[in-house]
Amino acid sequence: MITVRIEPDNEVKTLEKINTTQQLLTRLNLLSTQALIIRGEELLTPDRRIGQGDELVVRKVVSLG
Amino acid sequence: MKCRRCKELAQIALPSHHTAFCRDCFERYFIRQIETGIRRQKMFTHEDRILCALSGGKDSLALMWVLSHLGYDVTGLHVDLGIEGSSPMARGQVEAFCQDHDLKLVVVETAPKGLGIPEVYKALKRPICPVCGKIKRYYFNKTALEGGYTALTTGHNLDDEVARLFANTLRWDQSYLSDQGPALPAEAGFAAKVKPLYRVTEFETAAFCFLKKIPHVKAPCPYSKGASFTSHKALWATLEEKSPGSKIAFYDGFLERGRPAFAALEPGHGTKLSPCRTCGYPTSVEWCGVCRLKRQVAGLPPEAAEAEE
């Protein structure tokens, strides 16, 4: 299970059966250049593996005005 | 995924460039993209005095950071729109950024001028984004001209430019298509306007701000819900995902082949501008849009705008 905080909505979700960044993006219905996937001090590319217990930030990047 | 340049673990994948970069190589790539844009479009030199419009968002703050890093003489300009909750946050972010990086900043408040966005919204009762844009452009230009700045920069990125070009194309707006671009020269009453981020996407500016630890406003403007540019951006994101590189190809192709064709149709058809009777801002009618708006917000009749000032 992983925990994600989605910005700017500040919504927190716990998700299961997510093994890669790409799977996380797909689960959240996001394209790869629509959000930064942040783990601690690093950005994760779509091929990176996500581990059990990871806490991630999904920062949507589309300016909404 | 490895960094194309140094082969370290990549942090940013850029499908549009068929590449990926680590933290340090991405910073180098990002700054070079901006330098290339400035050089190709002959935007400004190190002799220019540059005014950089700062909203508090990722794009404008990233731009200010890069221009300062490259040694340009740059001053920030923040227009405080008087929106409860949102504006103090944006202004605070800009002021903190400029203080932390020892950068010059000018702040203009619209509410004392009768143009706070909540009051404008109440008076107009229609989508506010185009009107807000008009007010900001007015004060950007006025501040640039009055302060003797030779270039006005904004943080418009490739996604913004493509969304705007797409909207102009959907309407086949010949006038806008004849001069849309990342560099507009100074002309009577208007400062030179440039968009040095036109070669980078908002994904890239967001990544840059994260990696450089530049705090920025992330919450959307409370008045922007339903704005058309967001749906255009979503369409383009889908297209770009399927065909990486579509955005830059569309925009570069327009600059190279589309705009000259539209510009050739425009000479002699452009609207003649003269100074606003109240404030001197270039306008196609007697009073400029902002002076007319001020009267409308104040509940005054549209005539005799000059009596107000």
For residue B89, what are the CA distances in angstroms to A16, B57, B162, B181, B217? 35, 11, 28, 31, 7
Q: Does A32 touch chain B (CB under 8 A)?
A: yes
Do B229 and B171 belong to one domain? yes
The verdict on residue B8 lying in a domain is no
Look at residue B228 and tell me whether its pLDDT is greater than 80. Answer: no
Contact B230 A62 (CB under 8 A): yes
Q: Does B36 touch chain A (CB under 8 A)?
A: no
Q: Under a CB-based contact definition with an 8 Å cutoff, are residues B298 and B136 in contact?
A: no
The CA distance from B261 to B253, in Å, is 12
The verdict on residue B24 lying in a domain is no
> If you classify domain A2-60 with CATH, what class do you get?
alpha beta
Q: Which pLDDT tens digit goes with each residue over B90-142?
A: 999 999 999 999 999 999 999 999 999 999 999 987 888 899 999 999 999 99
Q: Give the CB-side neighbour count of residue B116, counting CA atoms within 13 A.
A: 11
Strands (E), B47-137: 49-53, 73-80, 104-109
Chain A / chain B CB contacts < 8 angstroms: 76
Q: Which pLDDT tens digit goes with each residue over B2-36?
A: 999 999 999 999 999 999 999 999 999 999 999 99
The verdict on residue B26 lying in a domain is no
Domain count, chain B: 2
Contact A63 B203 (CB under 8 A): no
Q: What is the ipTM of this complex?
A: 0.96
> In chain B, which residue's Cα lies nearest the Cα of A38?
B210
Residue A32: list chain B partners with CB under 8 A: 13, 15, 241
In this structure, of B37-41, B144-148, B226-230, the range with the lowest mean pLDDT score is: B226-230
Q: Which pLDDT tens digit goes with each residue over B238-273?
A: 999 999 999 999 999 999 999 999 999 877 655 788
For residue B138, what are the CA distances in angstroms to B21, B252, B271? 39, 28, 18
Look up the domain containing B304 and give its range. Answer: 272-309
| Mean pLDDT over the full length of chain A | 94
Q: Under a CB-based contact definition with an 8 Å cutoff, are residues B275 and B282 in contact?
A: yes
Residue A44: list chain B partners with CB under 8 A: 11
Place B304 in a pLDDT band, splitting at 50, 70 and 90: low
Do B252 and B278 belong to one domain? no
Measured N-to-C along each axis, helices B23-40 and B202-211 cross at an angle, to the nearest 10 degrees, of 130
Do B202 and B118 belong to one domain? yes
Q: Which two tokens stand for residue B2?
A: 């490895």
Contact B11 A42 (CB under 8 A): yes
* Ramachandran category for residue B153: left, alpha or beta (phi over 0 → left; psi -120 to 50 → alpha): beta
Do B202 and B132 belong to one domain? yes
Do B265 and B279 belong to one domain? no
The CA distance from B37 to B208, in Å, is 17
Do B76 and B143 belong to one domain? yes
Tell me the domain boundaries of chain A.
Answer: 2-60
